[in-house]
């Protein structure tokens, strides 16, 4: 690229200067339309699909006055497109309605439970990445060997096992029979009221406050659901790592590195993996997004008080505002991570910069 | 001229590089695919599992030893596996788990087939139109596709079911709505590949309408990759459906849906582990079967993608 810089004329340079700008514009359009799409879908689900949206929001035991008020608030007598604009205005100003179940604003509820989900998904991603990448590299290096087959089988199982079922079995084994882990919830009742969280991610909070016994207790709660999520992210990450590594190991620069007499370990971990790392970042970001979603089922099994449990509880109580609010939040984070991984890929891989 | 007797064996006839008829060419091609598919032992296992599922679903009423709905509450509650007459044990209502699993295979198959029937043609149509038309039609359709692709599938399906009401039909609809975008992406890529080829130009010259070109000449080109993709997605569909069932949003009791069976066995997991374990094993076997079959089909039909 340096060579090109020195030899190209100024016209090309100007075009290159404009390129990121058009890129930013394109990106803005993508973000806006995707987000609008999400809200259109939640609007559709909340206002168009139910026979009576007011009933869907309030439940069938609400008094007539409340029904009339909400009907006016939602603008149900307006044409559909005006209703949608009204809905957009409400959501964008942070008004996701009130939850019937907790009778608090949905946004407040969601913000309170979200750190728990974030903590679980982060734990899972760390486990999945830390084990999945080495496994994938190993499988690629020893292609066709027993190791490769075993890694492939581990991955396939991850694609075929229902997570909630494995979670139940894990509870029976590690909680009921072996007493290795704690259950249910995130923290023991003895600490629940004495410990003040800062970020809401308890393990992190306990560690920075040097409350070692609390940290240990939180760890005993998170380790099983976290590792389970980690396993499912591992299945995906190891499979992708293997494929990226095979791609890199077939390149000529690897032959060149071998010819220079570099050790095989150095070639694998420094040369090949570094190049495979670019698409891998995307994969890790995507799997993180997947875990945020995948935690819905896991949280239900482990009574983990996060967004997933909040959504399922609201679902079972026909609390539509809460369900859609939770969907919007998970959807937003999901979209953000998707776009972020896309963006990261473009930034990290020099080949995608200049066409 | 080239009747079978000329060839040494049927195999030679199939592999002849001068096929005398369209049928011979097609059979020959199918035979080649079968050869490379059947060389993969795991793929054969997958095929066997799926054929087994089909047979079990087809003959469920004859295979099941007992009723899947009516149990023996008085004498047969929560019997462990291997009890006389109850191979896999009984559940909390005294129903034979094996019989429920056998009947449940019909539900699993129904979900998978219905989702495939709804989502695959939809994605195929959107992608083929976008790829063939190009321009702003392509831009708009692909933007919509990408929007759906960026959504969290399970959560969106949950919200859909919440609005539509729980039930297996609604679960199918919800899963289908969230699973068509990858097919559209794929079909678009294939359509763009053949859009400017000579045979399309020839068809156009003969006066075929765009609709005819897309439906008769572009969509068939996307079929083989679509089949592979759908097969690989089947496991995911089964898991999502089971997840919805587990949350009580899919099939409703007393239907023997496997995910819902796990949910009902959850209460007894500590003492009567088999109630929740058996349906899980069934799910694992079937999704593993679809995954193995899909992998094998991909390697056989599309060598470019092999190993990815």
Residue B303: the pLDDT is 55
What whole-number distance in Å separates Cα of residue B275 and Cα of residue B266? 8
- Chain B positions in Cβ-Cβ contact with residue A296 (cut-off 8 Å): 154-155, 158, 243
pLDDT band at residue A234 under the 50/70/90 scheme: very high
Is residue A60 predicted with pLDDT exceeding 90?
A: no
Average pLDDT over residues B60-82: 80
In terms of pLDDT, which residue wins out, B85 or A313? Answer: A313
CA distance B263 to chain A (A): 9
Lookup: tokens for B232:
């690989």
Cβ pair B291:A37 closer than 8 A: no
- CB pair distance less than 8 Å for A160 and B159: no
CA gap B232, B182 in Å, rounded: 12
ipTM: 0.85
Which residues of chain A have a CB within 8 Å of the CB of B163?
45-46, 49-50, 56, 320
Distance between CA atoms of A249 and B148, rounded to whole angstroms? 35
My answer on whether omega of the bond before A146 falls inside 30° of 0, hence cis, is no
A88/A293 Cα distance (integer angstroms): 24
Q: Which of A254-268, B6-20, B107-121, B148-162 has the lowest mean pLDDT?
A: B6-20
pLDDT band, very low/low/confident/very high, at A127 (cuts 50, 70, 90): very high
B6 pLDDT higher than 70: no
Percent of chain A predicted with pLDDT > 90? 14
Model confidence at A12: pLDDT above 70: no
The shortest CB-CB distance from B262 to any of A165, A296, A326 is to A165
pLDDT for B124 equals 92
Q: Which of A93-97, A265-269, A341-345, B89-93 has the lowest mean pLDDT?
A: A341-345
B292 and A CB contact within 8 Å: yes
- Torsion region of B134: left, alpha or beta (phi above 0 gives left; psi -120 to 50 gives alpha): left
Q: How confident is the model at residue A21 (pLDDT cuts 50, 70, 90)?
A: low
Burial class (CB in 10 A: 0-12, 13-18, 19+), A354: exposed
Residue B100 near residue B93, CB atoms below 8 Å: no
| CB contacts, 8 Å: B259 with chain A | 162
Cα A276 from chain centroid (whole Å): 22
Q: Which residue has the higher pLDDT, B288 or B164?
A: B288
Put residue A92 in one of left, alpha, beta given phi > 0 → left and psi -120 to 50 → alpha: alpha
- Assess B259–A contact: CB distance below 8 Å, yes or no: yes
Residues of B in contact with A176 (CB under 8 A): 270
Per-residue pLDDT at A4: 38
Residue of A41, A162, A294 lying closest to B283 (CB–CB): A162
User: Once rounded to an integer, what is the mean pLDDT over residues A229-245?
Assistant: 92
pLDDT reading at A7 higher than 50 = no
Which DSSP string corresponds to B293-305? HHHHHHHHH-GGG
> CB A293 to CB B259 under 8 A?
no
Residue B26 has pLDDT above 70, yes or no: yes
Say whether pLDDT at A325 is over 50: yes
Q: Is the peptide bond before B254 cis (omega within 30 degrees of 0)?
A: yes
B34 close to B86: Cβ distance less than 8 angstroms: no
B178: tokens are 């969230």
Is the pLDDT confidence value at B133 over 80? Answer: yes
Q: Which residues of A, range 202-261, sit inside 8 Å of B by Cβ?
A: 243, 246
The angle, 0 to 180 degrees and rounded to 10, between the axes of the packed helices A146-160 and A212-249 is: 120
Q: Out of A20-24, A55-59, A256-260, B145-149, give the one with best mean pLDDT.
A: A256-260
Among the ranges A91-95, B35-39, B146-150, B202-206, which has the highest mean pLDDT value? Answer: B202-206
pLDDT for B236-265, tens place per residue?
A: 899 999 999 998 888 888 888 999 999 988
Say yes or no: A172 contacts chain B, CB-CB below 8 A. yes
CA distance B175 to B132: 27
SS3 A333: helix
Q: Buried (b) or exposed (e) across B137-151, using 16+ Cβ within 10 A?
A: ebeebbebbbbbbbb
Mean pLDDT of chain B: 85
Biggest distance spanned by C-alpha atoms of chain B: 76
Into which CATH architecture does domain B102-267+276-306 fall? Answer: Orthogonal Bundle (1.10)
Report whether A279 contacts A244 (CB < 8 A).
Answer: yes
pLDDT at A34 over 50: yes
Q: Is B154 on the interface with A (CB under 8 A)?
A: yes
A201-205, A337-341, A350-354, B130-134: range with lowest mean pLDDT: A350-354
Mean pLDDT of all residues in chain A? 82
**Chain A interface disruption, residue of B152, B170, B289, most A CBs within 10 A:** B152
CA-to-CA distance for A237 and A134, rounded, in angstroms? Answer: 10
The answer on pLDDT for A262 being more than 50 is yes
Cα–Cα dist B282/B218, whole Å: 38
Helix (H, G, I), strand (E, B) or coil at B105: helix
Q: Is the pLDDT of residue B190 over 80?
A: yes
- What's the confidence (pLDDT) of residue A20? 60
Q: Helix, strand or coil for residue A105?
A: strand
Residue of B nearest to A321 (CA): B159
Nearest to B266 among A49, A168, A297 (CB): A168
Partners of B262 on chain A (C-beta within 8 Å) are 162, 164-165, 168
Q: Give start-end residues of each CATH 1.10.3720.10 domain in chain A.
A: 106-352
| Residues belonging to chain B | 308
Q: Smallest Cα–Cα separation from A297: which of B162, B158, B267? A: B158
How far apart CA B13 and CA B11 sit, in angstroms, is 5
**Whether residue A136 has pLDDT greater than 90:** yes
User: Two tokens at A109?
Assistant: 């509820």
Most confident by average pLDDT, A99-108, B29-38, B74-83, B252-261: B252-261
Instruction: Say if the Cβ atoms of A161 and B284 lie within 8 Å.
Output: yes
> For B28-69, how does the pLDDT look when each residue is reduced to its tens digit (9 = 90+)?
888 888 888 888 888 899 999 999 999 999 998 888 888 888
Q: Residue A106 and residue A89: Cα distance in Å, rounded? A: 16
Measured between alpha carbons, how far is A122 from B238 in angstroms, rounded to an integer?
A: 26
Q: Which of residues 269-308 of A touch B (CB under 8 A)?
A: 289, 292-294, 296-297, 300-301
Look at residue B302 in the predicted model and tell me its pLDDT. 66
- Residue B3 above 70 pLDDT? no
Q: Where are the domains of chain B?
A: 102-267+276-306
What is the CATH T-level fold of the domain A106-352, as seen in this structure?
A: MetI-like fold (1.10.3720)
pLDDT of B9 reads 76
The model's pTM is 0.85
Q: Does A159 touch chain B (CB under 8 A)?
A: yes
* Facing residue for B163 by CB, picked from A49, A293, A294: A49
Whether B45 has its CB under 8 Å from any CB of chain A: the answer is no
Which residues 6+ apart lie within 8 Å of B228 measured at CB?
B294, B297, B298, B301, B302, B305
Chain A residues within an 8 Å CB radius of B273:
172
Of B150, B158, B239, the CB nearest to A34: B150
Q: Which residue of B has its CA nearest to A177?
A: B270
The CA distance from A268 to the nearest CA of chain B, in Å, is: 19
- Tell me whether residues B287 and A37 touch, CB distance under 8 A: no
pLDDT in tens, A137-195: 999 998 888 888 899 889 999 889 999 999 999 988 888 888 888 877 887 777 777 77
pLDDT for residue A8: 40
| pLDDT level of residue B27 (50, 70, 90 thresholds) | confident
Contact between chains at B247 and A297 (C-beta distance less than 8 A)? yes
Of the candidates B194, B180, B193, B200, the one whose C-alpha atom is nearest the C-alpha of residue B124 is B180
Select the residue of A49, A160, A297 nearest B243 (Cβ to Cβ): A297
Look at A45 and B160 and tell me if their CB atoms are within 8 Å.
yes
Judge residue B113's burial from the number of C-beta atoms within 10 Å of its C-beta, 0-12 exposed, 13-18 middle, 19 or more buried: middle
CA distance B271 to chain A (A): 9
Instruction: State mean pLDDT over B144-163.
Output: 82
Task: Choose the closest CB to B249 out of A37, A315, A324.
Answer: A315
B163·A56 Cβ contact <8 A? yes
Asked whether the predicted pLDDT for residue B304 surpasses 60, the reply is: no
Instruction: List residues bridging with A98 in a β-sheet.
Output: A105
User: How many residue contacts between A and B have a Cβ separation below 8 Å?
Assistant: 135
Residues in chain B within 8 Å Cβ distance of A327: 152, 155-156, 158-159
pLDDT at B307 (0 to 100): 43
Interface of A with B in 26-55 (CB under 8 A): 30, 33-34, 37-38, 41-42, 45-46, 49-50
Mean pLDDT of A52-64: 72
Query: For chain A, how are helix, strand and coil distributed in percent, rounded to 5?
Result: 80, 0, 20
Spatial contact of B301 and B294, defined as CB atoms under 8 Å apart = no
Contact A33 B239 (CB under 8 A): no
Spatial separation of the C-alpha atoms in residues A345 and A353, rounded to whole Å: 10
Lowest mean pLDDT among A7-11, A137-141, A233-237, A339-343: A7-11
In whole angstroms, give the CA distance from residue A19 to residue A24.
9
């Amino acid at each position: 690229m340096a060579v090109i810089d020195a030899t190209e004329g100024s016209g090309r340079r100007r075009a290159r200067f404009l390129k990121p700008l058009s890129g930013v514009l394109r990106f803005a359009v993508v973000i806006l339309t995707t987000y609008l799409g999400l809200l259109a879908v939640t609007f559709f689900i909340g206002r168009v699909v139910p026979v009576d949206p007011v009933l869907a929001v309030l439940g069938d035991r609400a008094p007539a006055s409340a029904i009339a008020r909400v009907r006016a608030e939602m603008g149900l007598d307006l044409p559909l497109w005006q209703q949608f604009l009204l809905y957009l205005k409400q959501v964008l100003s942070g008004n996701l309605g009130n939850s019937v179940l907790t009778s608090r604003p949905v946004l407040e509820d969601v913000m309170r439970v979200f750190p728990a989900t974030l903590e679980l998904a982060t734990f899972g991603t760390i486990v999945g990445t830390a084990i999945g990448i080495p496994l994938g590299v190993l499988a690629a290096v020893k292609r066709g060997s027993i190791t490769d087959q075993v890694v492939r089988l581990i991955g396939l199982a991850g694609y075929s096992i229902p997570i909630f079922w494995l979670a139940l079995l894990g509870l029976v084994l590690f909680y009921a029979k072996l007493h290795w882990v704690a259950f249910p919830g995130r923290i023991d009742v003895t600490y629940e009221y004495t410990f003040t969280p800062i970020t809401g991610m308890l393990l992190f909070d306990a560690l920075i406050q040097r409350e070692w016994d609390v940290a240990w207790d939180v760890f005993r709660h998170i380790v099983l659901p976290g590792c389970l999520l980690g396993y499912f992210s591992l299945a995906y990450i190891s499979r992708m790592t293997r494929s990226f590594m095979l791609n890199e190991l077939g390149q000529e620069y690897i032959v060149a590195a071998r010819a220079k007499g570099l050790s095989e370990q150095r070639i694998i971990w420094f040369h090949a993996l570094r190049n495979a790392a670019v698409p891998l970042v995307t994969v890790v970001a995507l799997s993180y997004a997947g875990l945020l979603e995948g935690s819905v089922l896991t949280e239900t099994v482990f009574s983990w008080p996060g967004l997933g449990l909040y959504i399922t509880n609201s679902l079972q109580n026909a609390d539509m505002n809460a369900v859609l609010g939770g969907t919007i939040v998970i959807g937003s984070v999901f979209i953000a991570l998707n776009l972020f991984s896309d963006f990261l890929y473009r930034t990290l891989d020099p080949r995608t910069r200049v066409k | 001229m080239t009747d079978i007797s000329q060839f040494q064996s049927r195999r030679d006839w199939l592999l002849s590089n001068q096929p005398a008829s369209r049928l011979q060419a097609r059979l020959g091609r199918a035979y080649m695919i079968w050869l490379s598919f059947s060389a993969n032992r795991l793929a054969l296992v997958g095929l066997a599992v799926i054929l087994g599922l089909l047979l079990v679903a087809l003959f469920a009423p004859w295979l099941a030893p007992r009723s899947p709905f009516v149990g023996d509450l008085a004498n047969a509650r929560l019997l462990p596996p291997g009890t006389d007459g109850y191979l896999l044990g009984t559940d909390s209502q005294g129903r034979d788990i094996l019989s429920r699993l056998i009947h449940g295979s019909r539900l699993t198959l129904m979900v998978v087939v219905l989702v495939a029937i709804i989502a695959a043609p939809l994605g195929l149509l959107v992608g083929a139109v976008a790829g063939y038309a190009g321009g702003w039609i392509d831009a708009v359709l692909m933007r919509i596709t990408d929007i759906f692709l960026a959504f969290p599938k399970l959560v969106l399906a949950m919200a859909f079911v919440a609005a539509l009401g729980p039930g297996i039909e609604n679960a199918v609809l919800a899963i289908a709505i969230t699973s068509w975008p990858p097919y559209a992406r794929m079909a678009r890529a294939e359509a763009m590949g053949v859009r400017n080829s000579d045979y399309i130009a020839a068809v156009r010259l003969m006066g075929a309408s765009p609709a005819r070109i897309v439906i008769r000449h572009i969509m068939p080109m996307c079929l083989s990759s679509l089949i592979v993709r759908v097969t690989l997605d089947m496991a995911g569909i089964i898991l999502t459906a089971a997840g919805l069932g587990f949350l009580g949003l899919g099939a409703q009791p007393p239907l023997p849906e496997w995910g819902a069976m796990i949910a009902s066995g959850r209460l007894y997991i500590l003492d009567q582990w088999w109630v929740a374990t058996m349906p899980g094993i069934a799910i694992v076997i079937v999704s593993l079967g679809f995954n193995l079959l899909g992998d094998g089909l991909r390697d056989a039909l599309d060598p470019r993608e092999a190993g990815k």
